Structure 1
């Protein structure tokens, strides 16, 4: 039977460890504090499945963790990986994937798994809505909302917000995405035309990982607007311009791990078992 080593991460790793235990799998969790008795080398020698966090790293030096852990450098991890290991993680850097390929190490990126990303859009959308409610002094009900982008997360978010009786406009560059948004009952606008429209929205949700709401657009937005950015870091909003204009704005990363860690862990567990069954 497989033995699992969980390294770094947030509370998703904790729940994933519990789920593994409940299903009879041996696992070691190292996600917080510098335990002087912990040896990465020994732990990896005793486990064949290495479960790294989402995201894999934030600083490109060590595995990401919500707690300070000084002994989880990526270099150390790679030096102990062998062809007997299978590596999992989210947003795994290309050089780590290449190292795994060259050394015949199984490597699976959660972000490359369609089922994981689609299921996680639900927690991301619910978390984004929760952040908007927390940040704004007003109600979502009957507010005017702009969502930039219409990918997987944006579509789920739009449908959730539609159920809360917001008037929703989708902004994008691609005609096919805007056509789909229109067919689903949403208003649409081209990103290049936002300067004419952005001032009328109470809530703005960005899902595009590029600077699509720069200083020029921020200056045209309503001072009472609330901006929630759920794109990958550094997001797509000029937050310094928002601060200078007095507009409430927040980059919200890792929402599934914050708002639905147990559900997210179940999604990862199912994906891991599926991948392992396919490697046999």
Structure 2
């Protein structure tokens, strides 16, 4: 039996039932969405980073300050396993400065000729030292939470530097009705809103070597710029190469088009006459 063969009363009843079912499903979905805890999670705003322009490079003075923030604040818990001291040369430090930074650390090396391990001053080829010897020690020191490696954190998180900036500056008191267990902190930008990391930065948490005022926003901006470079060290080179490609293409494309028109003009202007066989 088709819908068109039903009486007018049955058609009206079925239509009303369909509208009520769709409305009830929509209301149930809306109520389900309204009580989800994830709705309290905020999406980071889009900040006007100086390096976001099509031809804009990274702020290398900010990268230098960002390394200082990482060294004095973040390195106590977070590692950067894929960054070596030599990577700083020509980006934020000179070779002599990078070598001096490496020599501040004692590195376990060996074995020597006697088969024993020994410690030596760091070298440019050494990677940034880890704050903990293994993940288990890191969890034990942070109430079971494992601090993530920061080498590619900007590329690994949706929102990039906008997310990291909002996260480290977005700590606040939990709203009414939200309770956190001991050792957790409320952050609306973190998935689940409960984060084990305490607020990492505040005003004047450190003193910059170049005299820049170390406000919370300045510290967050510098460390995010440093982490962007760490995640994408080819950032400036990629944009320079893109500019060169555009300039060369602007010359070659018209030339190739002219040659194409010149070579094909004879073929395109030909008239093919078909003569049927006698």
TM-score under structure 2 length normalisation = 0.26
* Higher strand fraction (1 or 2): 1
Structure whose alpha-carbon radius of gyration is higher: 2
Judging by fraction of residues, say which structure has more helix. Answer: 2
Scaled by the length of structure 1, what TM-score is found?
Answer: 0.26
Higher relative contact order structure (alpha carbons within 8 Å, sequence separation ≥ 6): 2
